[in-house]
Structure 1
């Protein structure tokens, strides 16, 4: 099998000791029934609650304690192209087989879940999760089919102001909600933006992560813009694991707030 960067993954046996360096995928592994096999996580792995108290924290997503990972003697490490650096992946490869995920659309998500089902011997739960997400997504799309298309800008950082561009998983979920990203460059990831671009949006979404936008920041933007400003839960827009199942309920509530 190959991972989502086309790198070959060779496992002699089903992994029994897993280190995950991707918060959203830590939650996914737990929901696939692999909590007992999970031995190392990042300080940002906040779901499920209290998981970090039960596992070894090996650092963040961009900076790890390689000695802690070695000490855990993992037989499988899960990384992500965007969240983890090439240096981290290379260092982890010296310890155990590393699967690098790369999620930029729903098909990539389904592939990841299927691959983990095979590699980690949890195919029934993986198939059930994929089926549940596909069904819920189809139901959601049917429900918003008649909704108007809204011009939005999704801010992820404050100083400098940065937004989610079109070449992101966030944008895939914006499109699912019938939001039109006012950033027009198709290959844009997280560009810096200015006030003039913000003025092109009818709705400005302030994400709770990675920068923790709050009601205080909402008031600041409302004093400068005519757009409707909404604080949104960044986890539902950017976590591409099993949280997707809950995301559609959140999006339905969010759309009701918009006027």
Structure 2
């Protein structure tokens, strides 16, 4: 019995030593970040990263988030650290995180590193990026959940596509990200979802993922259907020349709530839900 207990103790020590083994993670800057062990106190400064950490089963490791991270609901109880681009550095440091996850566009990366924090730059912008970031977070967290999470996302997008009536296939769609207007082009993750749903984006990949458009461009393109957030839809019909657009003339405008828009504009584990929202819009408004 004593020998058995000794063996168990030795095994436990070995597992602890294995769990504490340092490892390197290469982020999107190409920088190798050395982590002494999977981080247990994490700050995220991009909603899609917050949602991805939670989807991988590590929500309880989050100790602070940016002001826009609001899903799942439990994130709303965490310290809000300002915007992702220019967050409150002092508040981040005070939380003593083992790792800070943020976007390339953040202005505080070097400052946080200079203060001794481990910083990982991860920013998904396409379907392939979402899968890659999930795999990278799986490595960081040691959760081994990414393949399953991705299968659910991918299957959900496929199911949304299969749910569409034949009449909706091939519709020419304009997806407005905000009223500037910035649009989601073919090369964006939103454009990739639209393509999988079998509809045509009026904004070609050549214009970039999220181009700022001249409003006359949309008038000339004359989309069959418009997808827009209620945040930027006010006065859409009154924009110069827009009254003649087929989608406006025939009332084929889907106005997504603020909560739905959050789902639609975040490249992360809720892309399957985004596909279902788009499919529902196409099914409701796309009948010809």
TM-score by length of 2: 0.77
Contact map agreement 1:218 1:229 (CA 8 A) in 2: no
Q: Which has the higher helix share?
A: 2
- Tell me: CA distance 1:68–1:204, structure 2 relative to 1, closer, same or farther (3 Å): same
Q: How does 1:159-198 map to 2 (within 5 A)?
A: 160-184=180-204, 186-198=206-218
Partner of 2:89: 66
Q: How does 1:60-209 map to 2 (within 5 A)?
A: 60-81=83-104, 84-85=105-106, 87-94=107-114, 95-123=116-144, 125-144=145-164, 147-158=168-179, 160-184=180-204, 186-199=206-219, 200=221, 201-208=223-230
Please give the alpha-carbon distance, in whole angstroms, between the structure 1 residues aligned to 2:67 and 2:61: 18
Contact map agreement 1:104 1:172 (CA 8 A) in 2: no
Q: How does 1:5-24 map to 2 (within 5 A)?
A: 5-24=29-48
| Aligned-partner SS, 1:116 | helix
Please give the alpha-carbon distance, in whole angstroms, between the structure 2 residues aligned to 1:51 and 1:106: 24
More displaced 10-residue stretch of structure 1: 235-244 or 20-29: 235-244
RMSD of aligned residue pairs (Cα, Å): 2.4
Partner of 1:229: 253
In terms of Rg, which structure is larger? 2
More displaced 10-residue stretch of structure 1: 186-195 or 19-28: 186-195
**Cα offset, 1:165, TM superposition:** 3.0
TM-score by length of 1: 0.84
Q: Which runs of 5+ in 2 are unaligned?
A: 1-24
Instruction: Kindly tell me the number of residue pairs found equivalent between the two proteins.
Output: 249
- Tell me: CA distance 1:144–1:51, structure 2 relative to 1, closer, same or farther (3 Å): same
